[in-house]
Chain A
């Protein structure tokens, strides 16, 4: 299956919609009191954008399982876009928190990071996410080398765990929503874990071949395994 050419711009535009909505809603409430985000618009905007960070991380992590299950290899080309949207929403989330909620008070930001574990954890997740966004270009993949790049980008597994903990700790009492997010992430990470276990349990054909070749030409294997 090959997707139609218009799919990519449509997915891109759709991914932007929540951001456009939240910025427009804050602005219209600010200037004309439209109450589009309810009685406590800044809190609402924080929660709204935070959820979208986690949703985009979910979609990003869903690309590989879906591709492998349904053989939709074209989907792979969307993964970077989804990952970057996760970072985009994380940035908006942080900006709303710092500009509108904390009103640029560095002291409060510092106090929050140091004293409040859920902020510490959320901030750590953001700090870990930034280098992934920065190394998302084809150039950077080349510069780092595929293996190192892949290893670096596996940080995303840590990031989703931190993000979910951050969400879980931020809610007051009703943990229904964070629990749902945690379940989905558990599924996405579990899928990878199972495949990894299987790969280890049954060595791949090329590895067997390499081992067989190594028995004959030891020098050749040592260089190929570098």
Chain B
């Protein structure tokens, strides 16, 4: 049997599942039943399976049953296509046939009738369409439907594109926003740690331009009266030129900066030609978009930030949020830097006034010191004058009573001549004579001795010497230098040996093999004489008198050596430590220190590129540490020395 060889296939295309199930139940015993829920699915299945009969519902969504039939009849021209329809309107059968159907079965389906009809159609029955005008009208419907679909599709496509664009824009916006925020964070991070105002501002404009890729950025700060916004930093060459030219904009004036400051609001000009308040800047001819952001700290506007781009519409309202965040951070950073600068200025002012005070004090000390040293001189001079006069009065009185031959001796003549000289000088000889006649010998011997005259001469001599030593100490560092290279340990040993220190234990802690120094050996020797003398004097009357002299390589400065002169003396009170470097200052009262040496020492050592550091504890002792460059010191450390070598060596 042919039936046994191959079961015929029936494809049922209907969007109603119950109908498809009904069809299956009615046909499955005789035929293989295939199902499709939509027209397109039906076409696909038909193409693949090539069924022997196709049932198609005329009222399918999307592609209608008519259209499916038309399509299928062109793909499978020999396969009967039967329309299924509940449509009872006029000419449904004709329209179905016109679309390519072979026959027509009305819904609801009647089981017997349905099976019979299917068998018939499979057997080759094809209904004839008598009126061909239905084909024409169907074709027109089809064209209309096509046009409608094309329109729908075109609309959908446009919709799609619009949505696509929208999505793309949203994505780009989100990306840009996050990039801006990231850049803002980076800028904020970079600038908040800069504390020098000028460095901060310059770095800020550079970082902003680099991070955001802007053409130009500039920072304006308000002047003291708040009338002008003064450009304090600008990107690149235009910025530098404008800062130099003192570029400033009036607050509340027509500029974007002026307006942003006055209104405390960010301003954007996307087409700078159209923005009425934009300042047409000859330095920045390529600007096409500009944004001005106020810099606000604690509710106070301190200036504004300008950002400019060569692109038109470079900024959106959204950008303001990101950039204003950054501007706020910048404002805080600027404020911090300013506060610090104020603080430093106040400190410098303090140091300046302290320096003036120190100079005034030092001058006063000098006047006081010299005055004190010179004070006894006039007294001594007066006494010597009186003493000489008294001796001559005595000689004169003695000679008046002497025998003739004595009065005629040449010595008498010599004495009388001296007496006459005194008289000529207007000395009150009569007064002196009266006084001497009145005083007893005991009393005369108390006031008139050669020893007393010598003592007065000594007072004058010592006073003068103290004063002369000032000159020696002061001009010490200025003397013409004879630089030579020598071993410092050797110099220290010689210095101590020459000084002949008594009653002090000297401890040597010299590191051997130190590189030599280049200096004026005599002058540097004087520095150590001075330091050692001070140390010894500070230990006078102290229970332990130990002077330690130590040399070592500097741990902190390559090529430097450190010479310590340490004593177990009285120590220097903390509040006096800085004063010891002033000329004429002394902590030693009457103990013979001139107080002149340390400033001179510091100057000599300073000229060699070194320094003297002092540490002291009252009651424990003092250490003076001389840091000196050796011939091994790096070049920059010895520059000053070699300059002196060039200019001052004889």
* Chains A and B come from one and the same complex: no
Residues in chain B within 8 A of chain A (CB atoms):
none
Residues in chain A within 8 A of chain B (CB atoms):
none
